[in-house]
Structure 1
Amino acid sequence: MNKHICTRWAFDLSTWTPTLPQLTHAVSVIQPEERTRLMKFHFIDDFLSSLIGRLLMRKFVSTCSGEPYHQVHFERDARGKPYWVQQGQGEGQKLKGTTNALSFNVSHQGSLVLLAGIRGNKDDPEFGIGTDVMKIEYNGGKSLAEFFRLMQSKFSPQEWSYIGRPQHNEGAQLKAFMRHWCLKEAYVKELGVGITVDLQKISFAVDTTHPLEEAVSPLCATTLRCNGTPMTQWHFEEHLLSHKYCAAIAFRNCLPHDNAKFEFVRFEDLIEQSKASAEQPDVVAYCKQALLKPQKRHS
């Protein structure tokens, strides 16, 4: 299996309170149809998470391909998944996910937004990447035991045996649950089929060489079986980004050339390549409207 250059970026929204000029700059970079999508979010938290995701994608493609930042263009496939459209591509030449030997995926939850991307060679076999991030907490109205009872059908017996080990207290069980859920999400996001597959038949054996802690993250020995068959074309990383967030990356038909941690980037890093443009009154008005959106109530 060929090794590929992997990018792992994370953005912490809790470190950024956007000013109107910053937001105007960021919104002017994304495509008009994306602005329409963003404005549909009720909460400013979701609006900003999605906006940062768009900027991470643009920076990744521009950095890897050399295409000017302001010329990077995305479209969506039938499932709504963004993909990069190279200049000069015809309708029949749009290769979703691995165009020009690039594959990338974005995920966000809570205050974190992640991008995982892979760059390979044009003559590589088809490869892909999926990522997911989960906050290690439970705020549902039911008890954790009742939540687990309802969710058990989404896991294989082997997975559930690990999650519910008697030596695990509730905190350890919740962490084990989120690790497995994160892996499943990363896997199906790369498949592009969403949570429509039978998750009980997707069985992960998590890396137990070390506890999942920031100091040893990522763990890379996790394996997958589907319907009992080892999926040897897949490779996985498990990351602990803080004591509150775990993340997973699923690599299909490729291996990262290193096992690095996620790099936290700043807002300035995401717009440094963009061309500063004169303020557009419609964009300023759009951003003022966005800043009026309410924030989520965090417990």
Structure 2
Amino acid sequence: MLPKYSCVRWALDLSQWRPTLAELSLATACLQAEEKARLMKFYFRDDFDASLIGRLLMRKFVRDTTGIAYDQIRFERDGRGKPFLVNSVLGPCRIDFNVSHQGNYSVLAGIVERSIADEPPVKIGIDVMKIEYSGGKPLTEFFRLMTRNFSDAEWRFIRSRQSEAEQLKAFMRFWCLKESYVKNVGVGITMNLQKISFKVKTDDVAKGKVVQDTVLEVDGNLLTNWCFEEHLLDEQHSVAIAFENLGKMADEGTFKVLGYEELMEGALPLMEKDNSYCQRVLEKQYKRFQ
């Protein structure tokens, strides 16, 4: 018997991907027209690449988990701009997914539910952050400016770390958790983040280990219908996944890092390849990975 839930966690290292014109022409032909137009608005090439990979991760996830033909998959955006599959309820199954990109990675987390009768849908949010600070000010001053974004309990944990590097890692850990939550509920980080307070039971997140015992309080109330996962893709990239209505964690899987060839296996173009469009993309400048 198949488990009630199954979860996918994928990442692609953008710093290892420098597409040829042929690769870029195929990749952009596998997008919907409005997605392709939206991507061209990015000024920097690495933002373009990261968003492109995010869209392709979504298509691969839907194709692999639902059996919908690649060129029949259709995404739209809700009122908050979050992409969703037009038909996310498929017979006895239901899916949800979310993407994020920052630093060297684009990431996707997706979940498949089975036996969904009369149960609220499981919703998912994900965030990835590069563990770095390049703001110019001392880290203590940066923390002071960010005071209202964390609860007193979170700041106590951050400042209890022994070095600035460990404090920054803890800061990014909480920031990832908060972003995964607000992306799931769709309110953005305009809400009062001090009211969102995470309680960590595992002191540190290590590569190859999954932390699943962190809990959330909002306005002092424990949210029992939420579960969180924390991952370290490498020593510089932290990831958090927020699950609503899951009940218990689907599994203890770690992230699978895909290459471009695996991402595009079985991909089918939705439109004609456009070398003129891709030449304009290739003229965009990178702001990192130099």
3-state DSSP class of the match of 2:50? helix
Paired residue type of 2:132: E
- Tell me the distance in 2 between the aligned counterparts of 1:196 and 1:64: 33
Paired residue type of 2:233: L
3-state DSSP class of the match of 1:164? helix
1:221 to 208, 213, 229: 213
Q: How does 1:1-299 map to 2 (within 5 A)?
A: 4-86=5-87, 101-121=94-114, 122-123=116-117, 124-165=119-160, 167-208=161-202, 211-215=204-208, 217-254=209-246, 255-275=248-268, 280=273, 283-297=274-288
3-state DSSP class of the match of 1:183? helix
Paired residue type of 2:96: S
- 8 A Cα contact 1:156 1:203, kept in partner: yes
3-state DSSP class of the match of 1:268? helix
Identity over the aligned pairs, expressed in percent? 51
Point out where structure 2 has 5 or more consecutive residues left out of the alignment.
none
Residues 68-123 of structure 1, C-alpha deviation per residue, up to 9 Å, x if partnerless?
0111110111111101113xxxxxxx88xxx9511100000011000000110242
Residues 175-212 of structure 1, C-alpha deviation per residue, up to 9 Å, x if partnerless?
0000000000000000011112211011001232x531
3-state DSSP class of the match of 1:101? strand
- 8 A Cα contact 1:155 1:203, kept in partner: yes
Instruction: Normalising by structure 1, report the TM-score.
Output: 0.90
Question: In the alignment, what sits opposite 1:91?
Answer: none
- 8 A Cα contact 1:186 1:250, kept in partner: yes
Paired residue type of 1:4: Y
Pair 141,67 (structure 1): closer, same or farther in 2 beyond 3 Å: same
Aligned residues: 283
- Tell me the distance in 1 between the aligned counterparts of 2:262 and 2:288: 29
Point out where structure 1 has 5 or more consecutive residues left out of the alignment.
87-93
- 8 A Cα contact 1:5 1:256, kept in partner: no
- Tell me the distance in 1 between the aligned counterparts of 2:67 and 2:121: 22
Pair 119,297 (structure 1): closer, same or farther in 2 beyond 3 Å: closer
- Tell me the distance in 2 between the aligned counterparts of 1:47 and 1:200: 32
